[in-house]
Amino acid sequence: MPTRKTIKKPLPSVVKNMEEWPIYKAYENPDLFLNKVKELVKKNASWILKDDVTLRNEIKNIVYQEKMRLSKTPWKSDNPKEKLFWSDIKKQVRSSKATISENGTKEVDERILNQILDFYGTEMIADFKISSFKFAQKALPYIYSRLINSFPQIVYRLFSSVDKLYDRMKIMGDIDHIRNLQKIGTVVVVPTHYSNLDSPTIGLSLNNLGLSAFTYGAGVNLFTIKSLSRFMHNLGAYKVDRRRKHRLYIETLKSYSTIALTEEVNSLFYPGGSRSHSGKLENKLKLGLLGTVIDAQRMNLQDGNGKKIFIIPVTLNYHYVLEAKKLIEHYLKDEGKENYLEDENTTSFGLIKRAYKVITSNPGMTISFAPAIDVFGNKVNENGESYTSIGQKVEVADYFKLNGKLVRDVQRDSQYTQILGERILQEYKENTVVLSSNLVAFVAFQIIRKRFSQFTVFEILSLPKDETTIHTDEFIPVLGRVKEALIAIEKENKIILSADLELELEELMKVGINKVGSSHPKYVLRKNKKGEISTQSMKLLYYYHNKLTSYGLEKYI
């Protein structure tokens, strides 16, 4: 049973000397790192090297796609030299007929392939500068705290507000266990994703746990301001261009992540992919990058070092998500994935502005670290040893063995990735923290839904205000039943209740109503003197309510 605790202040680093941090060592020699990435791509992308014709066609296809991307969806963050690079590759392909050796086109095309991989690798690679990290470590909490403070000119508040920040940012989990695992192996943190604020929030949280720095993929659109881009780059952010969909790029990205993990660099992914548009807990994961933990674990075993990789699911729980309105509208329109043009607007400057707004107005957030699991989803003990759900000790090497030998099997490992994904979803569910805001939103929306049980969600969302008003006399008993049900679920360790839920029902209702989506221009919930609870935005109410829809609580309404 994990010992869950909440930390209020940053803990000292587990490994004090930053020069010993794997991230520092890995990025100290970028050429060596990229060479390993390149070799792994070539090893894994056997389809591209199948024969002369395939290789040539793939290269032509890549050049075509890249040129199309540059002309159809150009971004400010695009490398100005890129156009020239692809033109040059195209020229080389065309002129290669004259230089073809006896071996056909393969020799020439392999050279071209290497150039493409070098180009991707150089664009992608992160760095880790101790000076930048130390600066971030010292400055960021103060910048954050200052953002909270309404009167920043008063200097003393600058310092006192750091404590306020940590009051608002509750970090909970089996912290000692996680810190201990950092000494034994590599830590991969996989958080839920609701907001653009997630990355700074999780970054600060990981630093507060005293873990060695993490490497993480960041969209190229976030690298628009040069100085900030440099800063992120120096803090372990590798560039990911989500416009590039072709297999070679995806393979390069995966190989990058795999090599970082085999170099023991702590890593961070959002396995849900983009932010949850509905506000619901993730119920499906994108398995691409997640699969790299399986590859890396196998490679570690094959290399003989056997270094273990530990996965730590993290749930981020907010009373207020700045982008909630836009996200839920996207979801309701069923537009699917965010389109890239819009993402382009999410510049680093935009992100800071958003962070400012959220932090200054956020009534709090809880970052909940789930117990660590191995890459197959088994729980791990304090020594990093794996145990199945029925308490049997297992060796991770055995999962990769066939007839006594460690072997690579892409199909098998894709199944393991799915199993890991399912386990992460389970941990998300069990480590979600029920905030008073989500609870009151859930109760309010479900009461309205029950009132109009014949209506579709869309019809309910367009109901007039007077149809959706709920009197506290109706609200409180339902709140009581749902709360009791949640207490029972928590007893089975299937959810975590925040401290607000210890309040008496009246108070809980009041606190929840005050906190839910507190800074949207339209209020999500409000109670008047007559005891009537109403909303100005059914969509936002629906969004905040969605967080609790996967626990079968509807029957208590």
Contacts to another protein by CB under 8 A: 376, 388-390, 392, 394-396, 398-399, 401-404, 409, 411-412, 415-416, 419
* Ordered DSSP codes for 386-417: EE-TTS-EE-HHHHTEETTEE---HHHHHHHH
237-240 vs 309-318, strand pairing mode: unpaired
Closest by CA position to 431, among listed 366, 363, 378, 500: 366
Q: Which is nearer to another protein, 143 or 397 (CB)?
A: 397
CB-wise, 220 or 553, nearer to another protein? 553
* Ramachandran quadrant class, 352 (left: phi over 0; alpha: psi -120 to 50; beta: rest): alpha
Q: Which residue has the tokens 């003989």?
A: 304
What's the CA gap between 235 and 254, in Å, rounded?
20
CA dihedral over 371, 377, 379, 383, signed as positive or negative = negative
Q: Which two tokens stand for residue 164?
A: 């306020």
CB 242 within 8 A of CB 32: no
**To the nearest whole angstrom, how small is the minimum distance from the Cβ of residue 290 to another protein?**
17
Contacts 24+ apart (CB under 8 A), 385-390: none
Please provide residue 77's backbone torsions phi and psi, each rounded to the nearest 5 degrees: -75, -5
The least CB distance from residue 386 to another protein, in Å, is 9
C-beta of 550: minimal distance to another protein in Å? 15
If 0-12 CB within 10 Å is exposed, 13-18 middle and 19+ buried, where does residue 458 land? exposed
Our CB check for another protein shows the closer of 473 and 492 to be 492
Of the pair 395, 459, the CB lying nearest another protein is at: 395
- Name the residue nearer to another protein (CB basis): 143 or 394: 394
DSSP secondary structure code for residue 441 in this structure: H
Nearer to another protein (CB atom), residue 404 or residue 464: 404
Report the nearest approach of another protein to the CB of residue 255 (Å): 23
Beta-strand runs (E) in 174-301: 186-191, 214-219, 237-240, 266-268
Q: How far apart are CA 232 and CA 219, in angstroms?
A: 11
Least Cβ distance, residue 379 to another protein (angstroms): 12
Torsion of CA 511, 513, 518, 522, to 10 degrees: -160
User: The tokens 């981020």 sit on which residue?
Assistant: 316
What is the nearest approach in angstroms of another protein to the Cβ of residue 492?
A: 14
| Residue 227 or 389 having the CB closest to another protein | 389
Q: Which is nearer to another protein, 313 or 377 (CB)?
A: 377
Tokens for 115, please give them.
């150039």
Q: Is 296 helix (H, G, I), strand (E, B) or coil?
A: helix
Rounded alpha-carbon distances, angstroms, from residue 194 to 104, 141, 200, 277: 51, 21, 13, 8
Per-residue CA distances from 58 to 119, 246, 467 (Å): 16, 9, 59
Q: How far is the CB of 382 from another protein (least distance, A)?
A: 20
| Nearest-approach distance from CB 489 to another protein, in angstroms | 15
**CB 297, min distance to another protein, A:** 13
Residues listed for the chain: 557
72 versus 555: smaller Cβ distance to another protein: 555
The side-by-side arrangement of strands in the sheet containing 386-387 is 379-380, 386-387, 393-394
- Closest alpha carbon to 337 in 352, 327, 324, 345: 327
User: What's the rounded Cα separation, in Å, for the pair 54 and 106?
Assistant: 10
CB of 377 to another protein, least distance (A): 10
Q: Measured from the CB atom, is 108 or 301 closer to another protein?
A: 301
Our CB check for another protein shows the closer of 409 and 502 to be: 409
| Residue type (1 letter), 84 | L
Q: How far apart are the first and last CA of the chain?
A: 32
Q: State the nearest-atom distance from the C-beta of 395 to another protein, in Å.
A: 7
Q: How far is the CB of 388 from another protein (least distance, A)?
A: 5
- The nearest distance, CB 423 to another protein, in angstroms, is 12
Nearer to another protein, 133 or 376 (CB): 376
Nearer to another protein, 158 or 394 (CB): 394
